[in-house]
Structure 1
Amino acid sequence: MLLQAQLKALLREGARGAERYDVRHTQRSWRQFAAFAYVVEQYGYRYAGLSPLSPKGSPNPYFAFRRMPDAAERAARTAALHPDALNGGPLPGMRPGGRRLEPLPEARREVDLLHARIMVDHSRTHRRRGLILLLVLPLVMLIPLSQTGFSGGALLVCAGVWLFFAVLWGLGLLIARRRRRRYGRVLEEAGIVWPPA
């Protein structure tokens, strides 16, 4: 299972003393990725936002987890409390059973705050996503135009295609900004300044 592989890789890096662990969102939902971030924190790595490894504007960026000062103690304590976590057993703060990344009531608030941080960070990646396509699309459309001719109808179709993608990009940008404001308010109400300065 991918979750177990990610946790094992994190623990290997932790044993080597890695200060940062980068991972891509591979869970079914962003809320599950926030639950994964909560579990990772129990092993000594705190969610730190977008990774410097992330390509600008990537729809699937890398997220960074920074090693906490007490990481070794946390990992040892968590391993003692949840010895089967890496072999399909219950994860810290999560419900046991088939849906392994569903938080228990005592962990839900922390998972919700992690989810808000992740959503603020992910919404920041939307600004450049699609913009390159809008800039390159006219050049790409020159290829079929060179075959069919630069007639008024063909140019109108190309302009319509470009306008369609421009509207989609603008709509996505609007949704991302709204999402960023909404989750930013959640963090502000909790007294969390995010992203950190």
Structure 2
Amino acid sequence: MPAIPASHDAPPVLPADAPIRPGWLRAMHWLNALAVVVMVTSGWRIYNASPLFDFVFPKGITLGGWLGGALQWHFAGMWLLFFNGILYLAMNLATGRLWRKFFPLSARGMAADLGAALRGRLSHADPRRYNQVQRAAYLFVMADIAVLVLSGLVLWKSVQFDLLRELMGGYEAARRVHFIAMALLTAFVAVHLAMVALVPRSLVAMIRGK
């Protein structure tokens, strides 16, 4: 049976020679990827110094070597993620890309695209368009990163961000929020990489633009 086009909204009208991924987006994507790798792997080392649960991460997949070193790497990744994320959001708003790429979004459209994907019938013929599952996933990860940053601020400056700390239920609750947000981000990255493996042209577009 033929593949089902992703969602049912009309594709954006763009010049034929326009890049699939503009240069600013590609640069920010790879900077975000670097920041996430640094933050997650150094975060695992920080977690190991005071585990929340009955397990620790293997030292070989952590960054920093010791707690002090891991904290330095973590802060470096945090500032890169923060400023790059702010610029990414600003560029998406300024260019209209946020609305063009991630909306409209509906439960019915998501269910239809998810069902087609599970049956192997979701078309990826037009890489300029995100299906509704992709839209939801990208919007989710934006929100997840925001939670990660906010909970991280509580862990970093608990006294200064006392209101935020209380909204999260206290310092220990903020640690759990931060850990869960990190786990969800890691899961997103794993699924994202799996999708790239299935549709390798998306990686080419993120490197070359077309």
TM (normalized to structure 1)? 0.36
Higher helix share: 2
Higher RCO (CA < 8 A, seq sep 6+)? 2
* Bigger-Rg structure (1/2): 1
